[in-house]
C-alpha cells in the first residue's frame, strides 16, 4: 500500500486550530464563492460555474505530494471536461516563484492562478496541501477537502467522490 503524505503549513499542534475554519465548511451547504485569477489574466468566479462539477485544488511547486497529484488530476479533468467537470488550480507560491508555477502549470489541462498565500477567503487557511474542495452542479459543497483517509487525490478517491457527480 502506498503511503500518502500531505505537507503541513503549521507547526505541530499549532496548525490544528487554523484548520478549524476550513474544516467547518459543511458538506451539503452552499460553497463559498472564490475567484481564480489565472496566469493568463482571466478571472474565473466559482459563482459563474453553476451547473458544473468544480474541483478547487490548492498546491505549491515545492510540495512533493502536490507534484504527484497534479498529473493525475489533470488527466482526469481532461477526460471529463465534456461531462461538465471544471478544475481550478490555486498555487500557494508567491510572486517570486511565478516562473516555477508557469512551468508546473504548462502541462496541466486546467487553469491555474497564484493565490500567493495560504489564505483562501471563506475556505480559510490552507494549513495542509495538497487539499481540494469539490462543488456539485447545484453549487453545494460535496467534499470539504479534509478527508483523513485520502488527503490527496487518488484514482479511487476521484471515482468515489467525483465520478458519481458527473453522472448527475
Interval 84-108: pLDDT, tens: 999 999 999 999 999 999 999 999 9
With beta carbons less than 8 A apart as the criterion, state whether 118 and 125 touch: yes
Average pLDDT for the chain? 84
Average pLDDT of the segment spanning 14-36: 69
84 inside domain: yes
Digit-coded pLDDT (tens) for 45-66: 999 999 999 999 999 999 999 9
User: Looking at the DSSP assignment, which residues form a beta bridge with residue 112?
Assistant: 89
Residue 85 lies in a domain: yes
Residue 144 is part of which domain span?
30-166
Q: What angle do CA 22, 28, 32 make, to 5 degrees?
A: 45
Q: Is pLDDT at 110 greater than 90 in this prediction?
A: yes
**What pLDDT is attached to residue 90?**
96
Q: Could you tell me the CATH number of the domain that includes residue 139?
A: 3.40.30.10
Does 73 or 26 have the greater pLDDT score?
Answer: 73
Instruction: Give the number of domains in the chain.
Output: 1
Environment class of 121 (CB within 10 Å of its CB; exposed 0-12, middle 13-18, buried 19+): exposed
- What global pTM score does this model have? 0.84
For the cut 90, the answer to whether the pLDDT of residue 119 exceeds it is no
Amino acid at each position: 500500500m502506498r503511503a500518502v503524505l500531505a505537507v503541513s503549513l503549521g507547526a505541530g499542534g499549532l496548525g490544528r486550530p487554523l484548520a478549524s475554519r476550513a474544516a467547518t465548511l459543511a458538506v451539503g451547504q452552499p460553497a463559498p464563492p472564490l475567484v481564480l485569477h489565472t496566469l493568463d489574466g482571466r478571472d474565473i468566479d466559482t459563482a459563474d460555474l453553476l451547473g458544473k462539477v468544480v474541483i478547487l485544488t490548492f498546491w505549491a511547486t515545492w510540495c512533493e505530494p502536490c507534484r504527484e497529484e497534479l498529473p493525475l488530476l489533470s488527466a482526469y479533468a481532461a477526460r471529463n471536461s465534456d461531462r461538465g467537470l471544471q478544475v481550478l488550480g490555486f498555487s500557494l507560491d508567491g510572486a517570486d516563484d511565478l516562473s516555477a508555477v508557469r512551468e508546473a502549470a504548462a502541462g496541466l489541462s486546467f487553469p491555474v492562478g497564484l493565490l500567493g498565500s495560504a489564505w483562501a477567503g471563506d475556505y480559510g487557511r490552507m494549513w495542509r496541501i495538497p487539499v481540494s474542495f469539490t462543488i456539485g452542479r447545484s453549487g453545494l459543497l460535496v467534499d470539504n477537502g479534509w478527508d483523513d483517509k485520502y488527503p490527496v487525490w487518488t484514482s479511487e478517491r476521484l471515482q468515489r467522490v467525483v465520478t458519481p457527480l458527473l453522472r448527475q
